[in-house]
Every structure is written in C-alpha cells, then in structure tokens.
Structure 1
Amino acid sequence: MKKSLLLLVFFSSTFLVSAQSADQEVKAVIQTLFDGMRAKNIEMISSAFDPDAMMQTVVSNPEGSETRGNSVSDFLDRIGQTPADTQLDERILDYQIKVDGTLASAWTPYEFYVNETFSHCGVNSFQLVKKSEGWKIVFIIDTRRKEGCK
C-alpha cells in the first residue's frame, strides 16, 4: 500500500512539473514575440512563429463581428517600418495556458501603448505547436477595443 501511494505521488509530481515546464516554455515564446516587438527585432519576432502561422483580428461593428486576416510577413514589415522614435509596447496582463502534449492554447488579456500612451486593450488567443525546434505560434486571433479596459 505504501509503495503504491509513493508511486502515485511520484508520478503525480512528475506530471505536475512537466506541465509547469510546458507552461513556462509557451509563456517564453509569447514573451519573445512581444520583447522582439518592443525592440523592433524582426529575427526575434520571427523565431516565435511557425513559417505557416496565421494572424487574425476580430473587428466589432454595429452589424456584428468580422475577422480580418494578416500575414506574419506583413506584421514583420509593419514592425520593421515603425519609426525609430516610436515605442510599441503590448503589456500582457495575465497568462492562461492549457497544454495537451504538443498542442498549447494561451489566453492573454493585454493593454497596448504607443510611446507610453494608451492605445487599446483586448485579448490574444494563441495556438502553439511543439515542433522539433520548440514551441511555435501557429495562430493568433485578437480583439481590440478602447473602452471597457482595466
């Protein structure tokens, strides 16, 4: 009985450590994306994405919502063309991460600032896949609003 209980505790703690490790790895990829954006470091940003990644934004209007797509290469071009004196700062407020093997989902409420001036807030929903080179973002969809923040 004691041996069974010890094995159960060992495997439970091993699973918990493994899950926490995956959560931290996923969080690190997302942080790399936004650290790269703040630094306008295209290589750093690119390293967070799968080559076939997709990006979308939910746009709300009186008739309902629609989505608008954006390629990662267009996103990288916009970051690269940002004037040197313009600081883009997406501040993640929380990380809610779920992992099942090599698939992860992260829900990250955020506030976005341009040169320390509040621009908008919303939520990012990330889908990541663990590849041979590590976790990569394969899909992002976000919301954006100016009201109801904080």
Structure 2
Amino acid sequence: MVNKILFSGLFCILLSFNGFAQTEEQEVEAVIKSLFDGMRTKNADQVAAAFSKDALMQTIIAKPEGSEVGSNPVADFVKRIATTPEGTNLDERILDYQIKIDGTMASAWTPYQFYVNGNFSHCGVNSFQLVKMAEGWKIVYIIDTRRKEPCES
C-alpha cells in the first residue's frame, strides 16, 4: 500500500514537470519577445542575443513606382538601440504570433504596431526565419513591411 502511494506521488510529480516545459512554438515566441523587450529597455546585448551572427535584416519600402527592398546590418540595428537618446521610448507591439516549425527551422509571421514615446508611428508585419542552433533558437532573417494605415488593432 505504501509503495502504491509513493509511486502515485512520484508519478504526479513527474507529470507536473512536463507542464512547465515550453513547446518549440513558445521557445520561438520567447526569442522574438526578448528582442522587442530588449529594444524597449535599450538593452543592446539582449537584442543582439536574439540573432545569429550572420543574420540579415530587410524592410520593404513602398513607393508609387513599385516596392523596393532595403537592407540593414544587424550590428547597425543593435548600435541604434544602444544609442537611442535618453527619454526616447521605442515600443513595437506584436499583435499575433503565427509560428510554423519543421525540425530546426521556424517561420513566424507577426503583425505589429510601432510607437515612439507612446505615439503611433507605423504598423506592418514582420516575417522571421529562425534556426535552432546549439545555443537555442536564433533569428537568421527578418523582413518587414511598414505603413501608416490600414492597421489592425
């Protein structure tokens, strides 16, 4: 009887540990959240930690004659975060996470709204590509759109 009680107790404890494990989707989402938390707090090291060493950043620039793609080195982005003037608050608010994973590759589609000092600046969508490396999920590529409207709320 005592053995059954002990076994039942140990079994319940083991099951409860599984409840704390993050899913792959939650791990990918956590990397993206960490990136934007680092941006909000101007923590350049936290921002840089979200990216692989050879990551690429691009943005779609909408023009009347057609869209263009602009590129931005991650190192420049990290430097801009580190040197954001005191009193300037950058806040990218992610509205949704649509994450797909195949093995060690993940794709995340994240509509967002961007605010500077609490004032709406622009909105759009980020498209992230991540790879699960030895140190965990890392962003290897991001491209985004930017517009003033229409924006999801």
Counting only pairs closer than 5 Å after superposition, residues 60-71 of structure 1 correspond to structure 2 as: 60-71=62-73
Residue matched to 1:120: 122
TM-score (norm 1): 0.86
Match of 2:26 among 13, 20, 24: 24
Where 1:108 maps in the other structure, the secondary structure is: strand
Once residues 43 and 80 of structure 1 are traced to their aligned partners in structure 2, the CA distance between those partners, rounded to angstroms, is 9
Once residues 64 and 139 of structure 2 are traced to their aligned partners in structure 1, the CA distance between those partners, rounded to angstroms, is 31
Deviation >3 Å, runs of 4+: none
* Gap runs ≥5 in structure 1: 1-16
Query: What is the RMSD computed on CA atoms of the aligned residues?
Result: 1.1
Residue matched to 1:49: 51
Residue matched to 1:144: 146
Counting only pairs closer than 5 Å after superposition, residues 68-147 of structure 1 correspond to structure 2 as: 68-147=70-149
Identity %: 67
Higher strand share: 1
Where 2:23 maps in the other structure, the secondary structure is: helix
AA in 2 matched with 1:38: R
Give the length in aligned residue pairs.
Answer: 132
* Gap runs ≥5 in structure 2: 1-18
Once residues 92 and 106 of structure 1 are traced to their aligned partners in structure 2, the CA distance between those partners, rounded to angstroms, is 11
TM-score (norm 2): 0.84
- Structure of higher CA gyration radius: 2
